[in-house]
Structure 1
């Protein structure tokens, strides 16, 4: 088994590309081939699942186009088959805002990449997701002082602050070598401490666990969610510039607005405040970036509370 994994590591990583338009498929194949990937191109979406099962690719790229957006249905099937272990990307035309919106709203949390003539964004996103996946798998091995217990928050099962800082450092090194960007989104549960004081630690902890599930269901496959404080969470968004953060925040807010947790006859509606930083817009150590996101969160919370006080006067 170990020899098999070693041989695969020495080979080019395999990307399954599903693109109905032959011209675009060839362009994507050439772009990824020149970047060192082994590409398996196919024009039919109904062939994606059988091919995926046969070749077990390292990543998948699906061209997302209207009116049927078959790529979304294929992504749902592939995610079930691999249980979220294989990075998947939607490839959309730069002016097709309907496709972008559809993928963000109903795309199963899969990342969206805009098609470009040179394909730099696609290559960067693929490398970012594959390197992050490799780093997580390596860190999960019980070697080098790491174990799965040491990487995770014992209450929620999310990654902890220490491991998140390691992943941020990895992203910084990747950007220094290949270029690109990443972002951090911090979220804090509103009124958590008041709830804990009123209802006790048990209910407060159940709210934390429930909120961690909501975060996990909202973000993309390549994103990493961590618990970094008592009621504070953080999401690492690889290969995501500051321009992409508002969409992520909107998805998180909308998902939390629908969330309900029934505990001992009570219905809890978790709400949260969000803040963010993006690299290299902000440059610093992993700890400085993490603290910067938390400071942005606290500033947003102070602004909201000031607005609420003004409305009461």
Structure 2
């Protein structure tokens, strides 16, 4: 999965905001070597005016405590671009507090570690820019460079094949730089029974509505895909296994509030979930997805057994 830079491809511009001159030069060289046009600046208050003037393809913001000015700047740039320009925080690989702050308070913006040759930053930027390019192509009229190959035609989410590409890229990043990620999967309960009882149109409306609920719940840096008839998957970058229960709880709470009214009938979607975390589990992208789906089925069976036991007790 490579973002090509050749004579036929327009060079992509990255605005880099880094107060420390030595680190700024190191980042500039890494990105320029990878084929990007780099606009470096050391002052955060210059970011918005420059952003407006040069219209960059992506922005990299150095984030460090105690004030984390980068987060406020990211908020401003997202407002200016209406969320169409990928943003990236750059943190010290040893600064766990900065990493935690950006992941929890950074408005869903992705994080890369400042380490070595800058290869991790390049990999993450290319992944974000490929996502952006895919979205743009998908919004074009059919047949005009559309990205049908990357998207599920019903929900508009990414499809299984494209998720596998991104999983492979994330695995490569983790192998080179350490860290990990998690893959969350969800399956709509009673979807097949609803399709049999009320027809495919009703079931598809529930599926589309549920895909919107999932998309509204996860972070901007997460990737949501449809991987089966009633199954979704969410790639959670830089999310270890211990943080997955919090993500699941957030999704469950959101679905508990969800209601879809169709023809006078109120549908309440419910999502069974499972997950797998890398490198706790290793294997190919397909193997990781299948393991997450097995975890989903185990969780569903455990709930069924627990519910049956409660009924017998009562």
Per the alignment, residue 73 of structure 1 pairs with 72
Matches within 5 A, 1:1-313: 9=9, 11=11, 13-19=12-18, 22-23=19-20, 26-34=22-30, 36=33, 37-65=36-64, 69-92=68-91, 94-95=94-95, 97=97, 99-116=98-115, 121-130=120-129, 133=132, 147-168=146-167, 183-193=182-192, 203-237=202-236, 240=237, 244=240, 246-247=242-243, 250-251=246-247, 253-258=249-254, 259-263=257-261, 264=264, 266=266, 268=268, 270-278=270-278, 281-284=281-284, 286-312=285-311, 313=313
Residue aligned with 1:157, SS: coil
SS at match of 1:276: strand
User: RMSD of the alignment, in Å?
Assistant: 4.2
Cα distance in 1 for residues equivalent to 2:55 and 2:41: 15
Report if aligned partners of 2:159, 2:227 keep a CA contact under 8 Å in 1: yes
Q: Please tell me whether the aligned partners of residues 261 and 268 of structure 1 are also in contact (alpha carbons under 8 angstroms).
A: yes
Deviation at 1:254, TM superposition (A): 0.9
> Structure 1 residue 233: deviation in Å?
0.3
State the alpha-carbon separation in 2 of the partners of residues 104 and 311 from structure 1: 39
When the two structures are superposed, what TM-score results if normalisation uses the length of structure 2? 0.71
Rounded Cα–Cα distance in structure 1 between residues aligned with 2:182 and 2:141: 29
Shift of 1:222: 4.5
The alpha-carbon distance between structure 1 residues 65 and 294, as it changes in their structure 2 partners (threshold 3 A), is same
Change (3 A) 1:184 1:139: farther
Q: Aligned partners of 2:78, 2:248: CA distance in 1, in Å?
A: 21
Tell me, yes or no, if the aligned pair for 1:15 and 1:57 is still in contact at 8 Å.
Answer: yes
Structure 1 residues 125, 150: CA separation in 2 closer, same or farther (over 3 Å shift)?
closer
Spell out, residue by residue over 1:209-255, the C-alpha distance to the aligned partner (whole angstroms, 9 max, x if none).
22211222333444432111222101234xx36x5355366235314
Which secondary structure state, in structure 1, belongs to the residue aligned with residue 90 of structure 2? Answer: strand
CA deviation after TM superposition for structure 1 residue 296, in Å: 2.6
Gapped regions of structure 2 (runs ≥ 5)? none
Please report the TM-score for the alignment, with normalisation by the length of structure 1. 0.72
Aligned residue pair count: 299
Q: List runs of 5+ in structure 1 lacking aligned partners.
A: none
